[in-house]
Chains A and B, each alone.
Chain A
Amino acid sequence: MTDVSNRNQLAYIAAQASDARVNVEFETEGMTLNLGPQHPATHGTLRVIVKLDGERVLRADPMMGYMHRGYEKLAEVRTYPQVTTLVNRIDWLGSFANEVPFILAAERLMEVEAPPRAQWIRTILFELSRIANVILFLGDMGVQLGAVTPVFFAFRDREFVLNQIEAVTGGRFHPNFDRIGGLKDDIPKGWTEETTGVLGRIRTFCDEMEDLVTGNEIFQARTRGIGVIPAEVGLAYGLSGANIRGSGVDWDLRRDGGVGLAHDQVDWKVWTHPDGDSFSRYWVRLQEVREACGIIEQLLGGIPSGPVMAKVPRIIKVPAGEAYVETENPLGVMGYYVVSKGDLVPFRVKIRSASFSNISITPWVLEGAYVPDVVSILASLYFILGDIDR
C-alpha cells in the first residue's frame, strides 16, 4: 500500500467517524463573537475575540494594535521638549499626567530640579487631569451597564475641570505645559479661588454618582462579585492603579514612589477595597476623585512663592545615561525609561503604560463570565486605547 492511498484511507475513516458522531449525539459547537475593533463597548479600537458557549465565555483574547501610533519610535527623532507634545496623546483624557513622568525622567538625567512652586502647580495640574479622566469613567460605567444618564453629568462637570486646565495651560486636552526644570508659565490671577469652586462641583458630582450609580440595586447586582481579581493574581498580571487597589493592595506611587511631586506635603489617604470585583474598582475610583479634590484644595492653600522655572540651558542637551521614572497616573502606573547618548534627542524611550498591563488580565478574568459581564468587567478595568497602543 502506497503512502498516498494510506492517507486517503485515513481521511475516509476520519470522515466516517465524524459522520457517525453526528448520528450518535447532537454536538454543539461554540460561537466566536468579535467584540470590536468597531464596537460600542470598546470606545476605541480594541478587539476582543470571545468564544462563547451560549452566553458563557469560554475564552476571550484581547487583540491590540489596531491603533498603534509608534510614539516610542517617534520620540527618538524629537528633541526633549518636543516629546511632551507626543506623549500628551497617550492617555488622552488625562493628558497632563502623561507629561510628568517623562519630564521627571529627563530632569533626573540632567540633574536639575524644578523649583517648589513649579512642583506644587505640577501636582495640582496632575491631580486635575486625574479628576478630568476618572469622572468620565464614573459616568461611562453607567453607559456600559445601560444607564445613559450618568455620562451626561460626567461630561457636564468635566467641562469645569477642563476649563481650569485651559486657563493655566491654554490647552483643554493637550496642555503641553510641562518643561524640563519647571513649567511654561505661572498660574493666572484668581485661578485658585475658581478652582476651589470647581472642586465643590466635583464633590457634588461624586455625591450624585453615589446616589445614582453605586446606590442602585441593579448596578450592585451587576457589579458585586463580578470579575473578581484576587490580589496575587492582579499583581502577577501587573495591574496597577485603582484596579489593584480595588483588590485590596495598598500601593500608590503618589505616596510610595517618592518622585518630585508635592504629594508628600499634604494629608491624604490611599483608598483600597478588599473585594476585587467590578464594584470595588468603581468605588475606589470614586473615592480617589474625592481624595484628589482634597489634595488640590490643600495644595491651593499653600503654593510657595518663587519662580516656576529652574535655570536650564536654552538648547537642552541631556547628558548620557538612563533613567526610569514612574508615577501614579489616572489609569495606573505610568513609567518612562529614557536612554540618552548626550544628544538633542533621546536615544530610546520605553513607555510603560498602565492600560497595556491592565488589559493583559482580560483572558483570565473573562473566562466563565457571561456576555453582559464582559462589557461591565472591561469597563471596570478602565482602559484607554491610546494608553494600550501608544
Chain B
Amino acid sequence: MSSTILAIELAYWQQTGLRALLGLVGVLLPAGILVYLFLFKMMSFMQSRLGPMEAGPYGSLQLLAEVGKFFQKEDLIPAAADRVVFKMAPFVVLISTFLLVLVIPAGPDLWFIDIDTGIFLALAVSSISVIGILMAGWASASKYSLIGGLRAAGQLVAYELPLVLAVMGVVIQAGTLNVQGIVMAQASGEIFGWGGIGNPFILTQFVGFAIFLIAVQAELTQPPFDMPVAESELVTGYLTEYSGLRFLMFFIGEFATAGIFSALAATMFLGGWYVPGLDPTDNLFNVIGPLVLIGKMVLVAFLIFWFRFTYPRFREDQLQQLAWKFLIPLSLVNIVATGILKVVF
C-alpha cells in the first residue's frame, strides 16, 4: 500500500491521514463555494437584492455565521420518531457524498483511489443517499416527511437510469471506466485530426451532458425537481423534523453533492483538471489541476443553480414522465449513435 503522493514517500498512516483531511476538504470546499457564490450571491442578484453583506467583505463570512447558528440549535427529535434511524439518516446521506468525492482526480497524480471502475463506483455510491432520505422520511414520524421521503425515493430511482445511461456515451468514447483515463482520453484526443484543445467530450456528447445535468438536478432534489422537499406543500418534506447539526449535515450533503456532481460532469465532459496547450503529464497540473477543476465545477454548477432559481417545480407524475418517456429513450438513442460513430471513425 505504500506509494508516493507528489513524489514524497509517506508511511501508510500519514497517507491515510492526508487522504481523510483532503476528503474533508473535497466535501466542504465545494459546498462552501456553492452556497456562498450561488445560494447567497447569485440568487440575490437574480432577485434584485444584495444578499448577505454584513459578515465579512461582501458577506463572505456569512457561511461561518450560519454554521455557528446551526451548532447552537437544539437537536430536536420528535417523540414518536424511530430514534436510532432518525439519528443515523443524515450520516448515511453524508457517507454517499464522501464516497463520491473519492473517484474524482484533481491532477495527474492527485487522486484518492484510481480504480478501473471509477465511474461505476461513483454512480453506485450516489444511490446510497436514497436510503438515507428514506430513513429520514420514515423515522421522522411525520406525514409530510413520509410523503417527502417516498417521493424522493421514487424520483431518485427514476433518475438513476438516465444518469447512468448519459455516462455510457462518455465511457464508450473514452473506452474506459477509469476516471483518470477519461480525462487523459480527452486531453490527448483530436478533433478531425486537430489536437489543439484535446477533445472535451461535451463536443460530441452534448446530448449526454444535457441529460446528465437534468438527472443530476433531480438527484439533488433541487428545483425544478424538488417535489420531495416542496416547501409550499410538504413544509420541507423529509427535512421537516430535523434541526441543528443534523439539518446542517443534510444541507452540506446537498450542496457538496451538487459540487461533486458538477466536478464529475466537468471531468467527464469538460476535460477535468486539464487545460489545453499543456502536456497532461506535466507535474504543473498537480498544482493548478485542483484550481482548474474547481473553476470548471463552478461553471457547471452555475447552470444547475440557474435552473434552480428560475424554474417552478414539476409535479410528481410529470417528473416521472420526463424521466421514463423522454430522458431514458433519448439517452439510449445517444448510446446507439455513439456506438455507431465510434465504430465508423
Task: Report A's interface with B, CB cutoff 8 A.
Answer: 31, 33, 35, 39-41, 55, 142-149, 152-153, 156, 212-213, 216, 218-219, 221-222, 370-375
Q: Give the docked Cα–Cα distance between A148 and B47 (Å).
A: 9
Judge whether B311 and A147 touch: CB under 8 Å: yes
Judge whether A146 and B223 touch: CB under 8 Å: yes
Q: Give the docked Cα–Cα distance between A23 and B147 (Å).
A: 27
Judge whether B313 and A146 touch: CB under 8 Å: yes
Within 8 A of A (CB), among B233-248: 233-235
The residue from A41, A149, A213, A375 contacting B309, defined by CB atoms under 8 A apart: A149
Q: Give the docked Cα–Cα distance between A222 and B49 (Å).
A: 28
Judge whether B227 and A372 touch: CB under 8 Å: yes
11 A-B pairs, CB-CB below 8 angstroms? A144-B232, A146-B311, A152-B49, A156-B48, A218-B312, A219-B312, A222-B318, A370-B317, A372-B227, A372-B230, A372-B313
Q: Give the docked Cα–Cα distance between A265 and B128 (Å).
A: 67
What is the total number of residues of chain B having a CB less than 8 Å from a CB of chain A? 28
Q: Give the docked Cα–Cα distance between A88 and B231 (Å).
A: 31
Interface of A is mostly: helix
Q: Give the docked Cα–Cα distance between A216 and B235 (Å).
A: 24
Q: Give the docked Cα–Cα distance between A219 and B48 (Å).
A: 22
Judge whether A372 and B316 touch: CB under 8 Å: yes
Q: Give the docked Cα–Cα distance between A40 and B43 (Å).
A: 21
Hey, which chain A residues are within 8 Å of B311, CB to CB? 146-147, 216, 218
Task: Report B's interface with A, CB cutoff 8 A.
Answer: 43, 46-49, 143-144, 147, 223-224, 226-227, 230-235, 309-318
Judge whether A146 and B47 touch: CB under 8 Å: no
Hey, which chain A residues are within 8 Å of B223, CB to CB? 146-147
Hey, which chain A residues are within 8 Å of B230, CB to CB? 146, 372
Q: Give the docked Cα–Cα distance between A213 and B147 (Å).
A: 27
Hey, which chain A residues are within 8 Å of B43, CB to CB? 148
Assuming the contacts A153-B47, A219-B312, A372-B227, asked whether A55 and B233 have C-beta atoms less than 8 A apart, the reply is: no
Q: Give the docked Cα–Cα distance between A142 and B226 (Å).
A: 14
How many Å from the CB of A150 to the closest CB on chain B?
Answer: 9
Q: Give the docked Cα–Cα distance between A143 and B312 (Å).
A: 8
Judge whether A40 and B231 touch: CB under 8 Å: yes
Judge whether A149 and B46 touch: CB under 8 Å: yes
The residue from A41, A55, A142 contacting B312, defined by CB atoms under 8 A apart: A142
Judge whether A370 and B232 touch: CB under 8 Å: no
Query: Which 8 pairs, one residue from A and one from B, show the smallest C-beta to C-beta distance?
Result: A146-B313, A145-B312, A152-B47, A147-B312, A375-B233, A372-B315, A146-B312, A144-B232
Q: Give the docked Cα–Cα distance between A375 and B318 (Å).
A: 16
- The residue among A40, A144, A152, A218 with the most chain B CB atoms within 10 A of its own CB is A218
Judge whether A55 and B224 touch: CB under 8 Å: no
Q: Which residue of A lies closest to B313 (CB)?
A: A146
- The residue among A31, A148, A153, A374 with the most chain B CB atoms within 10 A of its own CB is A148
Q: Give the docked Cα–Cα distance between A39 and B317 (Å).
A: 24
How many Å from the CB of B43 to the closest CB on chain A?
Answer: 8
Hey, which chain A residues are within 8 Å of B316, CB to CB? 55, 370, 372
Judge whether A222 and B315 touch: CB under 8 Å: yes
Q: Which residue of A lies closest to B49 (CB)?
A: A152
Judge whether A218 and B224 touch: CB under 8 Å: yes
How many Å from the CB of A381 to the closest CB on chain B?
Answer: 15
Q: Give the docked Cα–Cα distance between A162 and B318 (Å).
A: 39
Q: Give the docked Cα–Cα distance between A148 and B311 (Å).
A: 8
Judge whether A146 and B232 touch: CB under 8 Å: yes
Hey, which chain B residues are within 8 Å of A216, CB to CB? 311-312
Assuming the contacts A148-B47, A221-B318, A222-B314, asked whether A374 and B233 have C-beta atoms less than 8 A apart, the reply is: yes
Judge whether B309 and A371 touch: CB under 8 Å: no
Hey, which chain B residues are within 8 Å of A213, CB to CB? 312
Assuming the contacts A31-B143, A33-B143, A146-B224, asked whether A218 and B313 have C-beta atoms less than 8 A apart, the reply is: yes
Judge whether A145 and B47 touch: CB under 8 Å: no
The residue from B235, B310, B314, B315 contacting A149, defined by CB atoms under 8 A apart: B310
